[in-house]
Chains A and B, each alone.
Chain A
Amino acid sequence: MFVSLLAVIGLGGIGWLIAPYAPYLFGVILPLAAILVFLSGVVWRIKNWGNSPVPFRIPTTGGQQRSLDWIKPARLDSPFSRAATAWRMLLEVLLFRSLFRNTKAEFKDGSRLVYWSSKWLWLFALVFHYCFLTIAVRHLRFFTEPVPFGVGLLETLDGLMQIGVPRFYMTDALIVAALLFLLCRRLFDQKIRYISLPGDYFPLFLLLLLVGSGICMRYLGKADIASVKAFTMGLATFAPISPAGLPSIFFIHLLSVTTLLMYFPFSKLMHMGGVFLSPTRNQPNNSRAVRHENPWNPPKKYHTYAEYEDDFRDLMDEAGLPLEITPEQAAAAAAKE
C-alpha cells in the first residue's frame, strides 16, 4: 500500500515542482505519447486475448437451461441463443449483474451460517464507473469547438442542483465518495486487505490525485479556463502549443491523466476489455445442441472395445456376454499366426 501511496505522492510532486519548468515535455510530448501507448496497448492486449483459442464452451449457468417445452428457461442467466448471450453480456457490463448477486456469509449463534444480501460494492462500483464516464464525457468540452449539444446537456444534468459558482457537479462528489469507499474497503476489510497488492492501491490513489486536482482547479485554484482550452484544443488538433504559464495544479492533473493512460493497458484496469472476452459469460449455454469446435482438438486416443474384449474375452464368454470375436475364433486366429 505504502509503495503505491509513495508513487502517487511522487507523481504529485513531479507535477507540482518539476513539470512547470519543462512544460513542453509534460504538457505535449508525454500526453501525446500516453495516448499512443494507451490506444496501442489496449488494442494489443485485446487482440492478444482475442487471438487465443477458446477450446471449450464453458458458460457458468446462473439459471434454468432450455430443455423441455414446458420448463421456463432463464433466458439471461442461461442464454441459449447468441442474442440472449449478448443481452447477458450487455447487462453484465452496464449493470454489473453478477456483482449484484453478492452476499455476505456470517456465523450466527456461533455455529449457523447465514448469508446476507450485500450490495454496497455493487452500488459504489457502479457509481464510480458511471461518474468516471460522465466526467470523461464532460471533458470533451475542452477538446471540441463548438461543444457538442450532448456534452452541454450532460453538464446541465450533472449540475442540476445549481449550487454555487462555478456550478457544482454531483459526479465530482460522488466519484470521490466512491473512490474513498473502494479504498476504505481495501484498508479496513481484513479479507480485502490481505489479498490486496500494490497494483490494487495504485490506481485508487492515482484516481484520487486525478479527481482531487481536477476539483481543486474547478472550485478552488480557479485555473484560467480560456488558456487551458487553448492548450487542450492544441492537443486535439495536433497543433500543440506549450502550456507554459498554466498553474502547477494543472500540471498535476495532466500528469495523473498521462500516468493513468500509460498504466492502463498493463494493469488490472484492463478488466474493462477483458470482461467482454470472459468465456464463462460470453458463450451461450447450447453446447449439447450446437457443436463447439476446438481449434487444437488432439486426435482421439483411447482403450478400444477390441482391446477390452481381448483382455476379458474368456470371462465375458463364460458370463454369456455377446462378443465380436468368440474365444474359438480368437484361438484359431492365434494359431494361424
Chain B
Amino acid sequence: MSKLPDAKMLARSIQYAFPSAPWMKTKPVFNPGSFCYPAKEETMAGLGMPNPHTWNPAEEDWKLPPDWEDIIYTALKDRLEKYRSLKVFMDICVRCGTCADKCHFFLGTGDPKNMPVLRAELIRSVYRRDFTTAGRLLGKIAGGRKLDAAIIKEWFYYFYQCTECRRCSLFCPYGIDTAEITMIARELLHELGLGIHWIMDPVSNCNRTGNHLGIQPHAFKEIVEFLCEDIETVTGIKIKPPFNEKGHEILFITPSGDVFAEPGIYTFMGYLMLFHEIGLDYTLSTYASEGGNFGSFTSAAMMKKLNAKMYAEAERLGVKWILGGECGHMWRVVHQYMDTMNGPTPTCMATPKSPITGTMFHNAASTKMVHITEFTADLIKHNKITLDPSRNDHLTVTFHDSCNPARGMGLLEEPRAVIKAACNNFVEMPENTIREQTFCCGGGSGLNTEEIMELRMRGGLPRGNALRYVQERRGVNTMACICAIDRATLPPLANYWAPGVTVTGTHELVANALVMRGESKRTMNLRQEDLPGVEEDE
C-alpha cells in the first residue's frame, strides 16, 4: 500500500471537472491502489464459480473465456427476465443528474463515472444497443455501444467502486437503485470468473467453516472463552456462553468480525454481558457463526447459499427465534432477502417474543429474527436493565447510521434509544449525513480491503468531514455504529479525517454502562482503560 496523502491536501485536490472527451471514449487506468486484488483461481473453483482462472487487473489480457461475449449476453438476458428492477432501471432513467453528487465515491474522487447515473450507463449503454429496438437501429445516437473487453474492465473498475449504499436511490425521482445494478453487474462479472479476493475468500471460508474469517469451531469457542476471561477481569463476573446446544429459546448470530478483531470484540463482550445479566436462554452456534453475508456481494445464489445456514441451524437446535447482532449488510439480507430466499421458517420457530419483557416482535412475525438494538431498546424501555450512563461521561458520542439498516430497513431510532440510555453526551452529525441520508464508511459491500486504502479514504470523505465537524464544534470523541464492517473501516477513516475519535459498537457502550448483579466495582472499561475519576477501592 502506498502512503496516503495528507487529508487536507487530498480534499483540496478534488475537482469536479469533466474531461472534454465524452465518457464513452475515456477508459480507466488500472494503477495499483485503484483496484482490489483478484480472487484466487482455487477459491473460485472450490465454490463452483464459473470460469475460474488466474488473472491480474493490471495486465492487458484478463484471460476471459473465448465465448465471453455470449456469456455476458446470455447472463444479462437472464437477469432482465428475472428482475423487474433491472428492466425498469435500465429503461426509465432520464439522466436528470440528481444522483450525481449524492455518491460518496463521486464526492471523494471527482471521477465522473462514479456518478451513479454514469455507473449505471456503463451497463445501460450495452443494454440499449443489444436489447432495445431504438439501440439496434440507431446505435450510438440512441446511446448504445458495442460490448468489448474494455467495457468489461470498466465494469470491474467501477462496480467495485460502489458500496451498494443506496444513497442515490433515495434521491432518485424514480427510485433507481444503483445497489441493485451493482449487484447484478457483479453477477455478470463473476460469470466470466472475475471476482475479488477480499470477497471470495470470506465467501469460501464462510461456506466451509461457518464464518468469513475461517475460524474453525474449536478455535471459535476458545476465542469466545478468552473474551469471557477479559469480561471477568473487568467485572469480576464469570460467563460461560453455550455453544451449539439444543433446547434453548434463542439462537444468537452476529458477524464473525465481532469475535475476531478490535474494536468488534468489545461489542461481542457487550452482548455476552447483557445476555448474562438478563438471564437470556440462548445459544451460540459455530456452524452458523457468521451474521454477515459476503455472498450478497457476489450473487443472489451465493447470498442464499450462505444465508441458508441460519434457518438450518435454528431448525437443528430447535430454537424459537433468532436474535441478530450489530451488522449492516447482514441486516439488509435478513430484512429484505432471507425469508424470501430460505423461508418459510422451520416449524419449531414462532413470532419472536422477548422472554424478559413479554413484548411480541410482530414486525418480525414471518422472518422470526430480531435486531439486537430492537431487543435492547425494548429492555431499556421496560426498565429491565440498570444502566449507569455516567460511566460513559468521558465520552461525547455521535452515531454513524450504517447504510443498509438505514435505507434497507429503516432502523434509525432503536440504536439511538439505546445509545442515549447508555451515554449522557450524545450529539448528532449534520442532518444531511445521518439517518436515511447517511454516508457510507467507504468500505461497504466487500471493499474494506487494504490495497485500496486511498480510495476508501476518498469514499469516506463525506463521513469523515461530518465527523470532523462535530469533533471540532461539539467535542465529539467517540463514534458509535451498529455494523461490523464499520468497526473495521471507521477507525482508519477517523484516524485520517478526524484523528482522535474512537470507534465503538453500540453494545460496547451498553456493557460499559450496564450495572450487573454481583459485579466488582468498575475501574476500567471493556478495553481495560482506566475510567477517569474512579479510584480503585483499597
Chain A residues in the interface with B (C-beta under 8 A): 3, 45, 48-50, 52-58, 60-68, 70-74, 77-78, 80, 92, 96, 98-99, 101-105, 107, 110-113, 115, 121, 125, 185, 189-200, 266-268, 270-271, 274-275, 277-281, 285-294, 296-298, 300-305, 308-309, 311-312, 315-316, 318-322
> B93, A268: Cβ atoms under 8 Å?
yes
Docked pose: A288 CA to B335 CA in angstroms: 6
- As a 0/1 sequence over residues 431 to 461 of chain B, the CB contacts with chain A under 8 angstroms (1 = contact) are 0110111000000000000000000000001
With A111-B465, A113-B462, A278-B85 given, can you name 7 additional A-B contacts, CB distance below 8 Å? A57-B340, A190-B16, A194-B118, A268-B95, A290-B366, A296-B82, A321-B218
Please give the distance in Å from A118's CB to the nearest CB on chain B.
Answer: 9
Task: Give chain B residues whose Cβ lies under 8 Å from the Cβ of A275.
Answer: 92, 173-175
17 contacts between A and B (CB under 8 A): A56-B337, A61-B407, A62-B170, A68-B381, A98-B175, A103-B101, A112-B468, A185-B97, A191-B101, A194-B22, A198-B142, A285-B409, A285-B410, A289-B366, A305-B316, A316-B218, A319-B221
Chain B residues contacting A309 (CB-CB under 8 Å) are 287
Q: How many residues of B contact A (CB 8 A)?
A: 121
Cα–Cα, bound, A104→B417 (Å): 31
- Identify A291's interface contact among B115, B132, B134, B340, CB under 8 A: B340
- Among A67, A104, A194, A198, contact of B23 (Cβ-Cβ < 8 Å): A194
A266 to B88, CA, bound (A): 13
Inter-chain CA distance A286–B85, complex, in Å, is: 18
Question: Which residues does chain B contribute within 8 Å of A60, judged by CB atoms?
Answer: 166, 169-170, 175, 177, 407-408
Closest Cβ neighbor of A282 among chain B residues: B175
Asked whether A113 lies within 8 Å of B12 as measured between CB atoms, the reply is no
| Chain B positions within 8 Å of A105 at CB level | 101-102, 107, 462
Q: Do B244 and A321 touch (CB < 8 A)? A: yes
Out of A54, A110, A200, A321, name the residue touching B221 (CB < 8 Å): A321
Q: State whether the Cβ of B94 lies closer than 8 Å to any Cβ in chain A.
A: yes
User: CB within 8 A of A112: which of B221, B381, B465?
Assistant: B465
Cβ-closest chain B residue relative to A97: B173
Chain A positions within 8 Å of B118 at CB level: 194-195
* CB < 8 Å neighbour of A200 from B12, B95, B222, B408: B95
Residue of B nearest to A266 (CB): B134
A residues less than 8 Å from B243 (CB atoms) = 321-322
Complex-state Cα separation, A274 to B390, whole angstroms: 53
Query: Are the C-beta atoms of A65 and B359 separated by less than 8 Å?
Result: no
Q: Do B11 and A110 touch (CB < 8 A)?
A: yes
A191 and B413 contact, Cβ closer than 8 Å, known pairs A55-B340, A58-B85, A58-B408: no
Q: B191 in the interface, Cβ–Cβ < 8 Å? A: no
A190 lies within 8 A of B18 (CB): yes
Pick the residue among B245, B335, B469 that contacts A287 (CB under 8 A): B335
CB-based contact B171/A98 at 8 Å: yes
Q: Contact between B175 and A280 (Cβ–Cβ < 8 Å)?
A: yes
CB-CB under 8 A for A268 and B121, given A61-B407, A288-B367, A291-B339? no
The 3 closest A-B pairs by CB, nearest first: A65-B410, A274-B92, A319-B218
Residue among B115, B117, B121, B304 with the highest chain A CB neighbour number at 10 A:
B304
- B474 lies within 8 A of chain A by Cβ: no
Residues of chain A within 8 A of B436, CB atoms compared: 61-63, 77
B42: interface (CB < 8 Å): no
How long is the Cα–Cα vector from A54 to B411 in the complex, in angstroms? 24
B432 pairs with A289, CB closer than 8 A? no
Asked whether, in the complex, the Cβ of B97 is within 8 Å of the Cβ of A112, the reply is no
Q: Does B14 contact A (CB under 8 A)?
A: yes
Interchain CA distance A277-B274 in the complex, whole Å:
44
- Which one of B262-270, B305-313, B502-510 is at the interface? B305-313
- Partner among B81, B286, B362, B381 whose Cβ is within 8 Å of the Cβ of A70: B381
Residues of A within 8 A of B92 (CB): 268, 270-271, 274-275, 278
Q: Does the CB pair A61–B410 fall under 8 Å?
A: yes
Does any Cβ of A come within 8 Å of B519's Cβ? no
A285, chain B: closest CB distance, angstroms: 6
Q: Is A277's CB under 8 angstroms from B173's CB?
A: no
CA distance A287 to B121 in the complex (A): 30
Least distance between A290 CB and chain B CB atoms (Å): 6
A200-B95, A275-B173, A294-B340 as given contacts; A289 in contact with B362, CB under 8 Å: yes
Which of B31-39, B341-349, B392-400, B478-486 forms part of the interface with chain A?
B341-349
Among the listed A98, A102, A111, A321, which residue makes an inter-chain contact with B12, where contact means beta carbons less than 8 Å apart? A111
Residue of A nearest to B173 (CB): A99
Given A198-B143, A289-B362, the answer on whether A103 and B410 have CB atoms closer than 8 Å is: no
The listed residue (B88, B244, B312, B334) touching A49 by CB distance below 8 A is B88
- Give min CB distance, B317 to chain A, whole Å: 9
- Judge whether B17 and A289 touch: CB under 8 Å: no
Which B residues touch A290, using CB under 8 A? 365-366
In angstroms, Cα B410 to Cα A322, docked, is 38
Nearest Cβ in chain A — how far from B434, in angstroms?
12
Q: Which B residues lie within 8 Å of A270 (CB)?
A: 91-92
Q: B287: shortest Cβ distance to chain A, in Å? A: 5
Q: How far, in angstroms, from A309 to B217 measured CA to CA in the complex?
A: 9
B369 (CB) vs chain A CBs: closest residue: A288
* A191 adjacent to B98 (CB under 8 Å): no
Residue of A with least CB distance to B377: A68
Smallest CB–CB gap between B104 and chain A, Å?
10
In the bound complex, residues from chain B placing their C-beta under 8 Å from that of A65 are: 363, 409-412
Report the separation of the CA atoms of residues A139 and B230 in the bound assembly, to the nearest whole angstrom: 79
CA distance A115 to B104 in the complex (A): 13
Q: Is B336 an interface residue (CB 8 A)?
A: yes
Contact between A322 and B217, CB atoms less than 8 A apart: no
User: Chain B: which residue is nearest A277 at the CB level?
Assistant: B88
